[in-house]
Amino acid sequence: MASISLRSVQKAYGDHASVIRDVDLEIGEHEFCVFLGPSGCGKSTLLRMIAGLEDITDGDLYIDGKLVNEVPAAQRGVAMVFQSYALFPHMTVYQNMAFGLTLAKTPKDVIDRKVKEAARVLQLEALLERRPKELSGGQRQRVAIGRAIVRSPSVFLFDEPLSNLDATLRGQTRVEIARLHKQFATASVVYVTHDQIEAMTLADKIVLLHAGADTAKYGSIAQVGAPLELYHRPRSRFVAGFIGSPRMNFLPARVVSGSMESVLIALDGTSERLQVFANGETLRPDQAVTLGIRPEHLEPAVSNGSIQQITRSVSLVEQLGEHSYLHLDQPGGAVLIAKAPGDRTPRQGESVAFNVPPASCHLFTEDGFAVTSAAIPHFA
Per-residue model confidence as pLDDT tens digits over 265-324:
999 999 999 998 877 677 889 999 999 999 999 988 877 666 789 999 999 999 988 899
Beta bridge partners of 135: none
Domain containing 317: what range? Answer: 246-372
Indicate whether 378 belongs to any domain.
no
Q: Is the pLDDT of residue 184 over 90?
A: no
Q: Is the pLDDT of residue 258 over 60?
A: yes
Indicate whether 175 belongs to any domain.
yes
Query: Model confidence at 185, in pLDDT bands (50, 70, 90)?
Result: low
Domain boundary among 240, 259, 285: 240
pTM value is 0.88
The CATH number given to whatever domain includes residue 150 is: 3.40.50.300
Estimate to the nearest angstrom the gap between the alpha carbon of 327 and the chain centroid: 25
Check residue 376 and give its pLDDT. 47
Query: Model confidence at 100, in pLDDT bands (50, 70, 90)?
Result: confident
d(CA 44, CA 52): 12
168 exposed, middle or buried (CB, 10 Å; 0-12, 13-18, 19+)? exposed
Query: Model confidence at 60, in pLDDT bands (50, 70, 90)?
Result: very high
Indicate whether 27 belongs to any domain.
yes
Please report, for residues 119, 153, 270, 298, 317, the alpha-carbon distance to residue 352 in angstroms, rounded to integers and kept in the order given: 55, 56, 15, 11, 12
- Which secondary-structure segment (H or E) carries 34? strand 32-36
Query: Model confidence at 141, in pLDDT bands (50, 70, 90)?
Result: confident
Check residue 296 and give its pLDDT. 94
For the chain, percent of residues with pLDDT exceeding 90: 51
Number of domains in the chain: 2
Check residue 378 and give its pLDDT. 42
The 8-class DSSP code of residue 122 comes to T
Tell me which of 50-54, 238-242, 333-337 is least confident: 333-337
Query: Model confidence at 152, in pLDDT bands (50, 70, 90)?
Result: confident
Kindly state whether residues 22 and 79 are assigned to the same domain: yes
Q: Is the pLDDT of residue 373 over 70?
A: no
State pLDDT tens for residues 201-240: 999 999 999 987 778 777 899 999 999 999 999 999 999 9
Check residue 117 and give its pLDDT. 87
Kindly state whether residues 323 and 203 are assigned to the same domain: no
Check residue 6 and give its pLDDT. 96
Kindly state whether residues 257 and 306 are assigned to the same domain: yes
73 exposed, middle or buried (CB, 10 Å; 0-12, 13-18, 19+)? middle
Query: Model confidence at 377, in pLDDT bands (50, 70, 90)?
Result: very low
